[in-house]
Structure 1
């Protein structure tokens, strides 16, 4: 009740202020009116004010917006018009917002905010049918023409104002026309570059960025924008070279060095990127984001101790993603065989969004120590969300599969399928388990059910085709299934491996070699290596086959298929 009375009091104060003249200035410094109208405070005006405020307090925002719009029409007061616009926007009533913003713009012609807001509303997708884009352009042209010292800022805000226009090409053309009188100002070219990027015209964007830098060489916003354009256009190496040159020119610029470090990451030059982030840390030793970046890069480089040290510093500095850091620290400890310490890190994860992942990793840690029953108990806890329950089931299945208990894993997944019989992920996992158990009929039934539910499930097509080919069954059908899988997922190395293998089973060794070499060039997987080695051996290219087997066995000494194939062929 007290809050409601305070609102009414504020309304009365505003109503009393209507009777005064003068100039009103908004909180952000924008003038909302010149000489305010000498509005007499009538009982009707006060009544409308109170009614509008009470409606808003009761949650009847649409009614409040309509009442304020009526009041803005009758008073022609810019403060009322502004309030009407804001409430109409809050209520998501675009037409009321447009009408209120029109009044505000008319009664406060010098207000940049009023014109910008009107242009933004008029350019929204919902308003396209009611206002021509010419109206948007006219309002923004007025803003720019009256900007004076705020011209650069307003030029840079053009694309933000036009963001809700669905036709990005039309928005770009508006920016082109609006900036035409201001091409001596670098920000005009930046606005053009941004609009071209949004409209997916990278060459046009790049030319505009170059024009901005020609007017102001070395200007950091222009340099950074150009690098961004190059990266989005797929020219990451060129962006990196240009940023490197700019960092040498201005070595103290933190923004340039950060952009260069990110470009190095994008080009997978992790060691150099880490050196740049470390350099930035010299000037900001408590920067949590920089410590986190060094930690991630150290992890990528396989330097667990350095990663751990950096993650701990990021955590101490208050990094906002504390639970993700705890997950990383747990994985590092687990990798060292420090299971108890790892599980303590996982237990400290508190955010609901990461809690499931922490539970799964704790279970994996227990299973590594041979404590499979404890791991399963942890995963069998009831979950509130179906998706969480599904993740926990799949995690338990994977632990059982890795423990060479495919029969028990299949029982777990079959129990879950009784609740959700058409879950394609569960069906796929169960099919793979059935294949390991040599229950080919069950495998085929479930893979065909997946294809029925999701005709574009590439891995279901591939799994069925490969299983048939590996057993020398229905090779024509197997070939068709694998070809369909490759159509759905071109360049997938495992599907290419299947295609090579079915060609080999059909006696076409050269076609098999072509696909298997391509698959192995994409991914040096143990099973792809086993197939490639066998085809090379069959083609009497035994030295090449030995090289493949030696390389793969060095990287995957425990892979069963690789070892069995090498022994069968007499390679070892």
Structure 2
């Protein structure tokens, strides 16, 4: 049987080169051959098997099938061949195809066959152990990992591989136990052992043990930056002040460190210690004056600190540096174009925070990174609409030439949103109806169109379209939430609302919009204490006027009226014309004056 293409010819050569023409037999001589084959396999040699036309045909059929996406057939065929021929190459290929097919059970069988046939191949053994771990099969795993570590010439690499293998176990506490047993006392003098234990403890939600192991690693290797990083990161959960002081001490002794100071800057910003973060960035700039990326970092910190003038000056300096890079090097030889565009996006962000939309538009027009220009012009149209110039916004959208259906849907959704915010709901509906015809079964378009129907009071069309969204995208939490909330708000179909909101909550349990809907549903069904719990959780994450209206109403009817008024006042300060809040106060006869 001949290979009929260069691709298949290459496959023939790679797969079958070295196959001798020696067949197995059932005779005594055959048994001796089999024993010899076992010895050869253990020595890392390939088996002696006759390359028959049947074997060649089955291998080629599997490979051709895989190129067409039939990984199931390919994996089964090659795994069977691997057991028949004892060739580890076929087992490896069966493993690869089974992984592509996401058939973990067969992938594990193939990996074990591969490791059995090629026990000296570290990739084969690691694949077998990792799949066993991810499947929760841990019997003997610690012993197998220790055997690999003990025999390895590079102990650190073997420990790192063991850490990666146990990291695939679904039970993280058990993973830590397995790793503890696999790391015998003889390797605990290696810092990497304690780093591995620290990471496993962290994954098992034990920050105290994670910090303890990270401290041990740093004590064994005081110059090791990865250990210092873990002491900082894990220590922030245990004793943040100690963790920060320890990182500062390390940096005094190792001013050349790069990753640790950047992480420390982020942690200081999270604690609103902007002066400390800026002082640290200043030290980094003194130590590495040629590192102009630190200008960008310093600008980001200033933005978080709302020191916008300082941030703008730094970003303009950064853009100037990138412009010089572009002038001295070809655009394809530098990241200057992308870096300058990223800086301009930050300037856009600053302009919007300072309520200077014209400045933001000017920056958007200067963005010349091809990958960002579409996004920039869409944002420009939104800003033009906010300025009340719908004509310019429409013209900006019309000048864009979308390259695919995704960009076409973005344009339709953006334009519809512009007209909706301008109070022209009918025009927004027209845009999305046309888009729905042009790009059918796009769930984002159908979802927004359904929400417009709801705003217009066209409830039958809203329900029909939202159910179609759920049919097309069964994991769309927003669709379940929108339909469930609407039923709850209208105090109808409450059983169906419960099912919809439970599904939404399963998909996105911390979403404040969903928490608000669940709270409102519970209010409708009379479970007031549970309603308050969910609404307070929502309001903590998203203190909007809509949630304030709901939470305030439940507090009001449970005779916690002072609290209700406080919540309503907070919502009114944020959005005095909010329709939900205004209607709630009017219905309950409450004045905030």
TM-score tier by shorter-chain length is: 0.5 to 0.7
Which of residues 304, 311, 314 in structure 2 aligns to 1:307? 311
Equivalent residue number for residue 415 of structure 2: 396
Q: CA 1:67/1:205 → structure 2, altered by over 3 Å: closer, same or farther?
A: farther
Q: Does 1:253 find its partner at 2:254?
A: yes
Q: Answer yes or no: is 1:212 the counterpart of 2:217.
A: yes
Task: Tell me: CA distance 1:286–1:64, structure 2 relative to 1, closer, same or farther (3 Å).
Answer: farther
Shift of 1:387: 1.4
Structure 2: distance between partners of 1:198 and 1:503: 35
- SS of the aligned residue for 1:321 comes to helix
SS in 2 for 1:570: coil
Could you tell me how far apart the structure 1 residues matched to 2:144 and 2:584 are?
73
Q: 2 CA distance for matches of 1:175 and 1:121? A: 23
The residue that corresponds to 1:241 in the other structure is 242
Q: Which of 346, 354, 365 in structure 1 is aligned with 2:383?
A: 365
- Does the CA contact (< 8 Å) of 1:240 and 1:260 recur in 2? no
Could you say which residue in structure 1 is the equivalent of 2:67? none
C-alpha displacement of 1:510: 4.8
RMSD, aligned α-carbons: 4.4
Partner of 2:285: 281
Q: Does 1:452 align with 2:471?
A: yes
Contact 1:277 1:290 in 2 (8 A): yes
In the other structure, the counterpart of 1:223 is 228
Measured in 1, the distance between the counterparts of 2:196 and 2:525 equals 60
Q: Which whole-Å CA distance do the structure 1 matches of 2:358 and 2:579 have between them? A: 31
Q: Is the 8 A contact 1:94 1:121 kept in 2?
A: no
Task: Please say if residues 190 and 209 of structure 1, whose CA atoms lie closer than 8 Å, have aligned partners that are also in contact.
Answer: yes
Alignment of 1:376-415 (within 5 A): 376-380=394-398, 381-415=400-434
Distance 1:185 1:343, change over 3 A: same
Which residue in 1 is equivalent to 2:364?
346
**How far apart are residue 266 of structure 1 and its match?**
5.3
Distance in 2 (CA, whole Å) between partners of 1:461 and 1:173 is 41
Structure 1 residue 227: deviation in Å? Answer: 3.2
Q: Which runs of 5+ in 1 are unaligned?
A: 1-55, 71-92, 99-117, 145-153
Residue 40 of structure 1 corresponds to: none
Distance 1:505 1:183 in 2: 60
Q: How much has 1:434 moved relative to structure 2?
A: 0.7
Q: What is aligned with 2:447?
A: 428
- Map 1:260-271 → 2, pairs under 5 A: 260-265=264-269
Q: Distance in 1 between matches of 2:250 and 2:167?
A: 40
Q: How far apart, CA to CA, are the structure 2 residues paired with 1:550 and 1:178?
A: 60
TM-score, normalising length: structure 2: 0.65
- Mapped to 2, the partners of 1:199 and 1:534 lie a distance apart of 41
Q: Partners in 2 of 1:206 and 1:217 — Cα distance?
A: 15
Partner Cα separation in structure 2 for residue 475 and residue 139 of structure 1: 59
CA contact (8 A) 1:193 1:208 kept: yes
Contact 2:215 2:231 in 1 (8 A): yes
Indicate the residue corresponding to 1:418 in structure 2: 437
Q: Equivalents in 2 of 1:251, 1:167: separation in Å? A: 34
Aligned length: 462
Query: Equivalent of 2:340, from 322, 341, 350?
Result: 322
Deviations 1:253-274 (A, max 9, x none): 3434333223334556555434
Partners of 1:291 and 1:404 in 2: CA distance:
43
Aligned partners of 1:236, 1:412: CA distance in 2, in Å? 50
Q: Secondary structure of the equivalent of 2:491?
A: coil
Query: 1:4-403 maps to which residues of 2 (within 5 A)?
Result: 95=89, 121-123=123-125, 125=127, 144=153, 155-158=155-158, 181=186, 183-186=188-191, 189-190=194-195, 206-216=211-221, 220-228=225-233, 230=234, 236=237, 238=239, 241-248=242-249, 250-251=251-252, 253-254=254-255, 255=257, 256-265=260-269, 272-318=276-322, 321-336=339-354, 338-380=356-398, 381-403=400-422
| 8 Å contact kept, 2:163–2:196 | no
Task: Please tell me whether the aligned partners of residues 191 and 221 of structure 2 are also in contact (alpha carbons under 8 angstroms).
Answer: yes
In structure 2, distance between residues paired with 1:182 and 1:276: 37
Secondary structure (helix, strand or coil) at the match of 2:509 reads coil
What is the distance in 2 between the residues matched to 1:189 and 1:425? 48
Deviation readout 1:437-481 (Å, 9 max, x if unpaired): 111111111111122223333222221222233333334443443
What per-residue deviation string (whole Å, max 9, x for no partner) do you get for residues 279-327 of structure 1?
4334334433322222223223333222222322333344663322221
| Preserved CA contact (<8 Å) 1:120 1:164 | no
How far did 1:221 drift? 4.2
Alpha-carbon distance in 1 for matches of 2:130, 2:485 = 53
Verify: 1:521 aligned to 2:540, yes or no. Answer: yes
Specify which of 580, 587, 590 is matched with residue 561 of structure 1: 580
Gaps of 5+ in 2: 1-5, 20-86, 93-119, 132-140, 170-174, 323-335
Q: Deviations over 1:134-167 (max 9, x none)?
A: 99998986773xxxxxxxxx55544667798698
1:488 paired residue among 503, 507, 510: 507
Cα distance between partner residues in 1 of 2:272 and 2:488: 38
| TM-score normalised according to structure 1 size | 0.67
- Secondary structure, counterpart of 2:239 in structure 1: helix
Cα gap change, 1:185 to 1:497, in 2 (>3 Å): closer
